[in-house]
Amino acid sequence: MKIAVVIPTLNEEQAIGEVVNALPKNYLHDIIVVDNGSTDNTAKNAAAAGARVVLETRRGYGSACFAGATAARDSDVLVFLDGDRSDDPKQLEMIAGPVITDQADLVIGSRIQGVLEKGSMPIHGRLGNRFIVFLLRLLYGINITDIGSFRAIKTRTLFNLNMEQMTYGWPVEMVVKAARRGLRIQSVPIRYRRRLGESKVTGTLKGTVLATYYMFLVPIKYLFEKG
Ligand SMILES: Nc1nc2c(ncn2[C@@H]2O[C@H](COP(=O)(O)OP(=O)(O)OP(=O)(O)O)[C@@H](O)[C@H]2O)c(=O)[nH]1
Ligand SMILES: [Mg+2]
């Protein structure tokens, strides 16, 4: 099985080298760092650590993930993780495992079931997460404990989902569409660490408002959609 890792990044020069270096390289067929238009040394540091750097100028977390998945289209399994050191690359095999052994179609790392390092997730992030998990259970019967970014899915399965949300809605869309197709979604406990570098989503008002908006909107939008 060809396993590829996709790391979306926007100005993560402090963390990306360490993240790429900590990956289980022998296990991976492809290491893709998607640079979403960074103005710092993210691309340079990622390449120096041995990653294949893909540039995606269309801003948005979803755009970056989609560009990475497209670049890794020849792989069998895709693993997504953040480039800010919050997700621990040493736990990659744990996330990919159930997909590889066909025990799950989508695996999501759960910070809530796992260990949250002090200062890794602010209180509003935790509350938002609880709410989205509750909403997904209520609307779709989805039984997960967190909507985190560390996840694994078969490449073919991801492209069959016809992903549309190219910003903050990407993680929720993936889960909702997987549930609507009757796919098996599994939470796996992970540890979540404090990020390096500047916070862009949970630590800013704009990021928090937009992320919350999409977390509400996306589950409702796909409730009424066909297919
Ligand atoms: N915010 C944002 N992040 C992006 C974008 N493209 C890629 N990323 C990367 O996506 C990953 C997740 O974004 P983060 O900023 O860590 O989001 P978060 O973990 O919810 O919140 P913070 O860590 O507090 O900023 C990081 O590796 C970012 O560098 C983009 O357009 N916007
Ligand atoms: Mg982060």
The terminus-to-terminus CA distance of the chain in angstroms comes to 29
Domains in the chain, start-ordered, CATH in brackets? 3-223 (3.90.550.10)
Q: Name the 3-class secondary structure at 114.
A: strand
* Residues of the chain scoring pLDDT < 70: 226-227
Q: How far does Cα 180 stand from its chain's mean position?
A: 19
Burial readout 20-59 (b: 16 or more C-beta within 10 A, e: otherwise): beebeeeebebbbbbbbbbebbbbebbbebebebbebeee
- Cα separation, 45 vs 97, whole angstroms: 28
φ and ψ of 154, to 5 deg? -65, 140
For 163-221, write each residue's pLDDT tens digit.
999 999 999 999 999 999 999 999 999 999 999 999 998 888 889 899 989 989 999 99
- Say what the pLDDT of residue 191 is: 97
| pTM exceeds cut of 0.75 | yes
- Say what the pLDDT of residue 226 is: 67
Residue 64 beta carbon below 6 angstroms from any ligand 1 atom: yes
Residues with CB under 5 A from ligand 2 (ion): 82, 84, 86, 195
Cα of 64 vs centre of ligand 1, distance in Å, is: 10
The count of other CB atoms within 10 Å of the CB of residue 181 is 12
Q: Closest residue (by CA) to atom 28 of ligand 1?
A: 9
- Say what the pLDDT of residue 203 is: 85
Distances (CA, A) of 80 to 95, 150, 165: 10, 5, 16
- Say what the pLDDT of residue 227 is: 57
